[in-house]
Amino acid sequence: MGIIENRILDLADHAIDRNTTIIELKKDVAELKKDVAELKKDVAELKKDVAELKKDVKIIYDLIMHNTALFEESRRDMHLILDVIMPLRKGAEAFEGLNKSIDGHEIRITAVESVVTDHVQAHKSQSR
Protein backbone atom coordinates (compact mmCIF):
# COMPACT_ATOMS: atom_id res chain seq x y z
CA MET A 1 0.00 0.00 0.00
CA GLY A 2 1.04 3.43 -0.73
CA ILE A 3 1.39 6.52 1.37
CA ILE A 4 -1.88 7.96 0.13
CA GLU A 5 -3.76 4.75 0.89
CA ASN A 6 -2.26 4.63 4.39
CA ARG A 7 -3.14 8.26 4.89
CA ILE A 8 -6.74 7.62 3.74
CA LEU A 9 -6.99 4.65 6.11
CA ASP A 10 -5.60 6.75 8.96
CA LEU A 11 -8.11 9.50 8.21
CA ALA A 12 -10.93 6.94 8.03
CA ASP A 13 -9.87 5.43 11.37
CA HIS A 14 -9.65 8.91 12.86
CA ALA A 15 -13.10 9.79 11.48
CA ILE A 16 -14.54 6.56 12.91
CA ASP A 17 -12.96 7.32 16.31
CA ARG A 18 -14.38 10.86 16.20
CA ASN A 19 -17.78 9.52 15.18
CA THR A 20 -17.71 7.07 18.11
CA THR A 21 -16.71 9.90 20.44
CA ILE A 22 -19.52 12.08 19.07
CA ILE A 23 -22.02 9.24 19.55
CA GLU A 24 -20.81 8.74 23.15
CA LEU A 25 -21.00 12.49 23.79
CA LYS A 26 -24.55 12.56 22.41
CA LYS A 27 -25.47 9.72 24.79
CA ASP A 28 -23.87 11.64 27.68
CA VAL A 29 -25.75 14.81 26.70
CA ALA A 30 -29.02 12.83 26.57
CA GLU A 31 -28.34 11.45 30.07
CA LEU A 32 -27.46 14.92 31.35
CA LYS A 33 -30.69 16.32 29.87
CA LYS A 34 -32.60 13.54 31.61
CA ASP A 35 -30.81 14.33 34.90
CA VAL A 36 -31.56 18.05 34.50
CA ALA A 37 -35.24 17.26 33.92
CA GLU A 38 -35.29 15.18 37.14
CA LEU A 39 -33.52 17.97 39.03
CA LYS A 40 -36.06 20.50 37.76
CA LYS A 41 -38.84 18.21 38.93
CA ASP A 42 -37.15 17.87 42.35
CA VAL A 43 -36.72 21.65 42.58
CA ALA A 44 -40.42 22.14 41.80
CA GLU A 45 -41.32 19.67 44.59
CA LEU A 46 -38.95 21.44 46.98
CA LYS A 47 -40.57 24.78 46.13
CA LYS A 48 -43.97 23.28 46.97
CA ASP A 49 -42.58 21.90 50.24
CA VAL A 50 -41.10 25.31 51.11
CA ALA A 51 -44.45 26.99 50.41
CA GLU A 52 -46.23 24.48 52.68
CA LEU A 53 -43.56 24.94 55.34
CA LYS A 54 -44.02 28.70 55.20
CA LYS A 55 -47.77 28.22 55.69
CA ASP A 56 -47.13 25.91 58.65
CA VAL A 57 -44.66 28.38 60.19
CA LYS A 58 -47.24 31.15 59.81
CA ILE A 59 -49.89 29.00 61.51
CA ILE A 60 -47.50 28.14 64.34
CA TYR A 61 -46.54 31.80 64.73
CA ASP A 62 -50.22 32.80 64.88
CA LEU A 63 -50.87 30.10 67.50
CA ILE A 64 -47.92 31.29 69.59
CA MET A 65 -49.16 34.88 69.43
CA HIS A 66 -52.69 33.77 70.35
CA ASN A 67 -51.40 31.70 73.27
CA THR A 68 -49.24 34.62 74.40
CA ALA A 69 -52.29 36.86 74.41
CA LEU A 70 -54.27 34.24 76.35
CA PHE A 71 -51.41 33.90 78.82
CA GLU A 72 -51.30 37.66 79.39
CA GLU A 73 -55.08 37.73 79.83
CA SER A 74 -54.83 34.86 82.33
CA ARG A 75 -52.14 36.76 84.25
CA ARG A 76 -54.38 39.82 84.45
CA ASP A 77 -57.30 37.65 85.58
CA MET A 78 -55.07 35.99 88.19
CA HIS A 79 -54.07 39.39 89.57
CA LEU A 80 -57.74 40.39 89.77
CA ILE A 81 -58.53 37.15 91.60
CA LEU A 82 -55.63 37.72 93.99
CA ASP A 83 -56.85 41.26 94.60
CA VAL A 84 -60.18 39.76 95.73
CA ILE A 85 -58.79 36.74 97.60
CA MET A 86 -56.04 38.42 99.61
CA PRO A 87 -58.39 40.69 101.63
CA LEU A 88 -60.73 37.72 102.13
CA ARG A 89 -57.81 35.65 103.37
CA LYS A 90 -56.72 38.38 105.76
CA GLY A 91 -60.32 38.71 106.93
CA ALA A 92 -60.54 34.94 107.48
CA GLU A 93 -57.30 35.01 109.45
CA ALA A 94 -58.65 37.89 111.57
CA PHE A 95 -61.93 36.02 112.08
CA GLU A 96 -60.01 32.93 113.17
CA GLY A 97 -58.08 35.08 115.64
CA LEU A 98 -61.38 36.46 117.01
CA ASN A 99 -62.74 32.92 117.37
CA LYS A 100 -59.67 31.92 119.38
CA SER A 101 -60.06 35.03 121.53
CA ILE A 102 -63.77 34.28 122.06
CA ASP A 103 -62.91 30.68 122.98
CA GLY A 104 -60.43 32.01 125.53
CA HIS A 105 -63.05 34.38 126.93
CA GLU A 106 -65.64 31.58 127.12
CA ILE A 107 -63.22 29.47 129.15
CA ARG A 108 -62.65 32.40 131.53
CA ILE A 109 -66.40 33.15 131.71
CA THR A 110 -67.12 29.49 132.53
CA ALA A 111 -64.52 29.61 135.30
CA VAL A 112 -65.95 32.87 136.66
CA GLU A 113 -69.53 31.50 136.44
CA SER A 114 -68.44 28.51 138.46
CA VAL A 115 -66.89 30.74 141.14
CA VAL A 116 -69.90 33.10 141.17
CA THR A 117 -72.33 30.18 141.37
CA ASP A 118 -70.36 28.73 144.28
CA HIS A 119 -70.40 32.12 146.04
CA VAL A 120 -74.11 32.62 145.41
CA GLN A 121 -74.89 29.15 146.79
CA ALA A 122 -72.62 29.79 149.77
CA HIS A 123 -74.34 33.10 150.39
CA LYS A 124 -77.80 31.51 150.11
CA SER A 125 -76.83 28.84 152.53
CA GLN A 126 -75.56 31.41 155.02
CA SER A 127 -78.74 33.46 154.73
CA ARG A 128 -80.98 30.63 155.67
Mean pLDDT of the chain: 87
Q: For a pLDDT cut of 70, what percent of the chain falls above it? A: 98
Q: What is the pTM of this model?
A: 0.47
* C-alpha dihedral sign at 58, 63, 64, 69: positive
List, for residues 76-98, the tens digit of each pLDDT value. 999 999 888 888 888 888 888 88
Exposure string for 67-101, b = 16+ CB within 10 A, e = fewer: eeeeeeeeeeeeeeeeeeeeeeeeeeeeeeeeeee
Instruction: Give the separation between CA 29 and CA 23, rounded to whole angstroms.
Output: 10
